[in-house]
Structure formats: structure tokens, C-alpha cells
Structure 1
């Protein structure tokens, strides 16, 4: 069903252009373009699964095609000298075990002047250095964006409006982007996250081979449609009242994510000079809900040798603060026999909360790989990662209680654009 909806929306510019021609206004051209990645990914553990952020399943001692593979199709149509329409559909594995289709972009763009433009509709959320092309493998140096940084924000786009201003100061080009809107996104585990009153500001300066980008975003975030989360909150409140543990009611209120304020700040640097390629980002997330406050960074360096580029990278994600799990491990003497098992069950539920859980998610990844642009608009990549969870299971999914240690991940990907 989703695929049919996206196909219809992608065909909208063509339908508009046909109607426009029938009205005698000429025939605006429609440009169809696309991108994709075909990849095999393998992880050397049988006690957990390696996946991209927000994927429900990953690799566990088997080769998987869906972790790093996707296919995108985009339609662009200029209506006149100042107005254009754009729609982009994306097929990938996200939130669910199987492939799904999504409408990532659908907007009208008006060019107010040579320096100022406005877009209305579904637009990309400008919070990362590569926000607009994070899913376009060919446009990125590595097989995938660093999960440590890019897992911090689950939203890829918003429904709203953005304003872009570009100006040149001598040899330096400055681009400022201000976006406002809302979004509802599916998360793995049959959860939905809503963002309201999202405001994002992104400023990029380019000077020759150097790029500097700074961004900040705020939103009111709600996590809902989670049976496990609602059950946990109800259990904490009932146990708090029934067993006279008031801290459990307080904990439930802290955990509940209902229009809780969240913010995200990031700084990115890039250089492409004399065959030397460097890219780095630092990002910080803060929330008023159970979702951990985190800091993350990565640095990547590569060197081009003709059409071949070996590269190395390192990324880290650490927890700055988290909700304190105040569920007692056991009940005092004299309490009913069911009290201690109830506390143990509630404490475990808090530790495995959706979206990495309280106090979980820390990890680092060291990577080595190469990129080979062996043909026009096609690149072959191979990459090996050593993922080191530092607290719990890191960003790995479906982990068993027996899991421990590092995980080695290998991937081969064919990226293309057309």
C-alpha cells in the first residue's frame, strides 16, 4: 500500500505538467532521478544483531542485504521561473523487519530572490552535516553515516516550512536554513515518536576546500503507541501506591515522554584538499524524558589515489545523564511475598526501556574501508568496523543476556545514482 501511495505522489509532477500543457501553458519538463545501494553486511556475533539506527533486525553471523541497502526515486518539475515541485520516495528497512516505502520529501519551492527561497511541505530536517543526503550512499565517503552521531535524532524530515538564504562574502559562501514543523515517525519496537513545534537552524560556510556547519534544533517530543511503555508506567504507579514507594510514581512521571522538551546541537567540519579528505561532527542531545542525554562525535580521514580512496574513521557515543532507576532491588522485611518479584520485574523493565533504555547505548566504532569509483555514477565500497559497546549492548539490537565483548562487522556495498 505504501509503495502505491509513493508512486502516486512521485507521479504528481508529471500529472501537473500534463494538465498544464492541456491548458495551453506549455509542457514543463519533469526530471526523474534516483539513487540506491546494494549491500551485504555481516556481524561476527550470535548473541546480538548489528543494524543501522532504528532497524528492527540486523546481522547475527549471517549475511544480510537489508542493513545498508536502499532505493530512492525523485521527481522534480519547474512550474515557472520561480516555482518548482519536488517529491522523493525511499524504500529501505526502517523500524520494521521487512522493506517499507516512505515519502521522504514532498514540497513546493518558491525562489523569492537570487539569495532567498522558501519550501513548503515535507522537507528534510537540517540537523546533521549530511542531512539532505544521509541516505544517498554514493554522496557519502563511507558505507554508512556514523551510528554514534546519527542515532541521536530519529526524525529525517518534517511537515512544515523552511527558509534558505545564501550569500557570498568574497571567496566564502554562507548558507542559512531555518525550518519549522512537526513529524510523526515509526520507531523499532512498534513505537511512534512525535515531534511538535520543531525549530531548526542550520548555518554552513564554505571557503574553497573547507566547510564548517553549525546547527541547533528544539522540539516537544512524545513517545506513544507503546504497549510495553504504557504497561511499565502503569505498573510503576500501581506499585508505588500499593507498596508505599512514592519514588516509583516520581520515576513514572520522569519516564513518560509526553511533549517533553528536547534539543539537539551539532558542529561539523569537512575538508577536501589535494586528495586529502577529512570530515568530522560533534553533536549533543538533551531531553526532559527518559531518553538519555548524550554526546557523540566522529572523525573520518581518507586519501584519494586516482579513483581509489582508502579511509579510516572513529566514532564515540557517551551518556551525559539519564533517569535514575529508583526501583528497589528488594522489599524490606514484613512486605508481602509478591513485593520483591514485582520490584525486580519493574526494575528490569526500566533498564530495557524502548529507544536504548535508561543508561544504555554507549559505544565506539573504529572503521577501515575503501571506495573505488570504477565507473561513472557508480562506486564500490568495502568496510570493516569494530564496534565496542561500553554500557550494556550499545546500539546493537535483539541482544541476548549472554552477550558481551566487541563485534566485528564487514560490509560490501555498490552505490549508484541516475
Structure 2
């Protein structure tokens, strides 16, 4: 019901924007959209391949829900310097394995000067290099963003505001952004509440874009099963250990650097990120990827490699490894081990229309020390797994 209500609210906001635009003398409203129609399958039914925050994924039977979505965006110019933007997004995301609608963006933007602007409302978070277009498949060379990187902070938007500065110094354009707000993310097993600050600095010069970003805030992870485990530890006289493992209101940060290049038909994109959380049950990680492609007329063959590793210890030394508490220790230690995997992918993009592209991509995913990011795995699952996908990305 919550998702359906949000979908109805999205339509209501878009309707209100149209009415507001018509009420303004000379007012204007523009509507655009994007989408991806895709099918995805793998070579095994022992584990399901999915995107971030999906309840189920693809196995040997091809599925449309892993990589498909549909978005609509409307912007109303309320006055010379004030505008209102809303974006609705439909996809498989969250606790249920079905398509749901959400209000991804809904903000007022005021242009303070030629260089400064302010936004208030529901805004996208500048956590990753392609955060603004992470759901717009047509804007990206690859069929999907690398899971190894883009799963580290599973937040797309926040309720708050931001300040943006953009100015050109000769051949170089500088963009600086700082955003503040609260965000909530619901997965099939965990609810994450976060009050955070996110900032980024971009330098664009000719075919190159350089980026550095940092976000931080206090995060709370609510998991009923984990809370029950902490209760058992406290009852067993391990209250100090339970307090150290507590995942409520913990300090967290994510720092990343990135580079893109589009030079002489050669495309390159790389990003490195480091996550730190002040609790051992949310492991510290480092992740990175690199993508290389070559533009040949309307075709772009490309290769991508991504990886993630854990920087914190993969176990809690203070927990007993034998006796009646051994099962509790094993369950807690499993949370202290971040999923690890690497991916090698090859693909082809064909821009067969001025606003549509056809893509095929084959991923070879290699989990390490566990199931990686695969869902609903069966006993003995280990990988590697080959994932096949084909998609049409479009704008309208």
C-alpha cells in the first residue's frame, strides 16, 4: 500500500506542477522520460542474480524485472529563477518481487545567480559518479552499473536540499555540490535510516572529467533477527560485546574518486570507493571498476572489470566459538563478512535510433568466500556464474 500511495502521489505532484505552470503568465512545463526494456538470465538456478535492493533475481529462466524500469520527469518553470521538478520511477525494488512506483525526485530549484543554485525537497544524492543517471540506461555505456561499486551505499535520494556551484575557467568547467538530508532504504531484511551530508567536486576539461566525492553521517540498521541475537548475548552476560556490535546511530562515510574519458573514439570510465562504518557488523570495504570501450560508427564494444574487498576483520574475536552460544556467534560473524566478488563483462551498444540504444552484455561473476551478491542461494553454491542480458534503452 505504501508503494501504491507513493505512485499516486507522484501523479498528483505532476498534475499540480502542470496546474502551477498554467497559472503563471508565460509559464512552461516540460515532460520527458526514460526507460529500459530488458531480459536477463544466468547459467544456474543455485543462486539468483539481482540488482541492488531487489528481493529476487534471475536464474536460468529469463526475467524482465532485473534490469527493466520506466521513468517520467516533469519540470515546471514557476518564474524566471524558480522551477519545480518531479520524477516518478517504476521498477522492481524493495521487499517485494514486483514492479512498484516511487517518487524519486520532487524539488524546488532557485537560481541564485549564474553560478549558484539551491534545491529543496527530494533530491538525488551525489554519492557515485553516475548517481544522477544511474537509472537512465541510455546515458550509460554499460547495460547496468557495476554491482561491486554501486552496492556499497544503497541510497538513491534524500529528503533535504543542496547547493550547487558551476563556473567555467577557460577550457575547464568546475562543478561543486553539497547536499544534506535524511534517507531511508528498505531491503528484504534490513531498514537503513541515515542523516547524511554528501559532496562532490567535478572538473571537466575537453574529453576528460575528474571527480572526487565524500559523504558522511550517522546510520541506523534495523534488522529484527540481528536485534534478537544481541538480546541473547546480553542475557548471556556479553553486554559489552553486544554494545560494540549495536548498529544504531553509527558513524559512517564513503569516499570516492572517478574519471571519464571520451577521446578519439576511445571511451574510458573508472571509479574507486571506500566505505567505513563504525560497527563491525557493517564491514568496511573498498570497491572499484574500470570500463573501456571503442566507438565505431553507431557501435560501441566495451569491457568492464569490477571488484570489492573487505578492509575490516571478517569475524568478532570476542564471541565464543564453542558451547551453547556457538550458533549465535556464527550468525553474528556472518554479518561481519561482507559479500565479496569480482566481475568481468563484455558487451556491445548499438545506437540504432537518435534516442534509443540496443545493448547486449555478458558478465562472468566470481563470488569469493561465500555467495557474493547472489540471492536465494542453495547449499553448495559457489560460482562462477555467467549472466546474459539484452536491453533497449530509450528516451522520450
Distance in structure 1 (CA, Å) of the matches to 2:244 and 2:331: 15
Q: Secondary structure at the match of 1:11?
A: helix
Q: Does 1:328 align with 2:320?
A: yes
Which residue number corresponds to residue 386 of structure 1?
364
Q: Secondary structure at the match of 1:253?
A: helix
Shift of the alpha carbon at 1:351? 4.0
* Matching residue within 248, 268, 273 for 1:283: 273
Which residue number corresponds to residue 153 of structure 1?
153
* Matching residue within 8, 13, 28 for 1:9: 13
Q: TM-score, normalised on structure 2?
A: 0.95
Q: Does 1:28 align with 2:27?
A: yes
Which residue number corresponds to residue 219 of structure 1?
217
Between 265-274 and 90-99, the greater mean CA deviation after superposition: 90-99
Distance in structure 2 (CA, Å) of the matches to 1:27 and 1:67: 42
Shift of the alpha carbon at 1:361? 0.8
Matches within 5 A, 1:153-232: 153-189=153-189, 191-196=190-195, 198-224=196-222, 226-232=223-229
Shift of the alpha carbon at 1:12? 2.2
Distance in structure 2 (CA, Å) of the matches to 1:381 and 1:227: 40
Which residue number corresponds to residue 67 of structure 1?
66
Is contact 2:21-2:77 (8 Å) kept?
no
Is contact 2:127-2:215 (8 Å) kept?
yes
Shift of the alpha carbon at 1:324? 2.8
Is contact 2:193-2:221 (8 Å) kept?
yes
Distance in structure 2 (CA, Å) of the matches to 1:68 and 1:280: 22
Which residue number corresponds to residue 287 of structure 2?
296
Distance in structure 1 (CA, Å) of the matches to 2:109 and 2:268: 32
Is contact 2:315-2:333 (8 Å) kept?
no
State which structure, 1 or 2, has the greater radius of gyration over its C-alpha atoms: 1
Shift of the alpha carbon at 1:322? 4.0
Is contact 2:314-2:333 (8 Å) kept?
no
Q: Does 1:358 align with 2:350?
A: no
Is contact 2:365-2:383 (8 Å) kept?
no
Which residue number corresponds to residue 237 of structure 1?
234
Which residue number corresponds to residue 412 of structure 1?
390
**Deviation per CA, 1:20-43, whole angstroms, max 9, x where unpaired?**
2xxxx4251111110000100011
Which residue number corresponds to residue 370 of structure 1?
348
Distance in structure 2 (CA, Å) of the matches to 1:370 and 1:381: 6
Is contact 1:384-1:410 (8 Å) kept?
yes
Is contact 1:107-1:122 (8 Å) kept?
yes
Is contact 1:360-1:391 (8 Å) kept?
no
Shift of the alpha carbon at 1:345? 2.5
Distance in structure 2 (CA, Å) of the matches to 1:147 and 1:10: 32
Distance in structure 2 (CA, Å) of the matches to 1:93 and 1:251: 38
Residues 322 and 155 of structure 1, relative CA distance in 2, 3 Å threshold? farther
Which residue number corresponds to residue 119 of structure 1?
119
Is contact 1:186-1:193 (8 Å) kept?
yes
Which residue number corresponds to residue 298 of structure 2?
307
Matches within 5 A, 1:256-267: 256-267=246-257
Number of residues of Structure 1 aligned to a counterpart in Structure 2: 389
Distance in structure 1 (CA, Å) of the matches to 2:63 and 2:242: 38
Is contact 1:291-1:322 (8 Å) kept?
no
Distance in structure 2 (CA, Å) of the matches to 1:184 and 1:322: 27
Is contact 2:116-2:163 (8 Å) kept?
yes
Between 253-262 and 62-71, the greater mean CA deviation after superposition: 253-262
Distance in structure 1 (CA, Å) of the matches to 2:100 and 2:336: 29
**Deviation per CA, 1:154-212, whole angstroms, max 9, x where unpaired?**
111111110000111110000000111111121232x211111x111100000000000
State the superposition RMSD in angstroms. Answer: 1.3
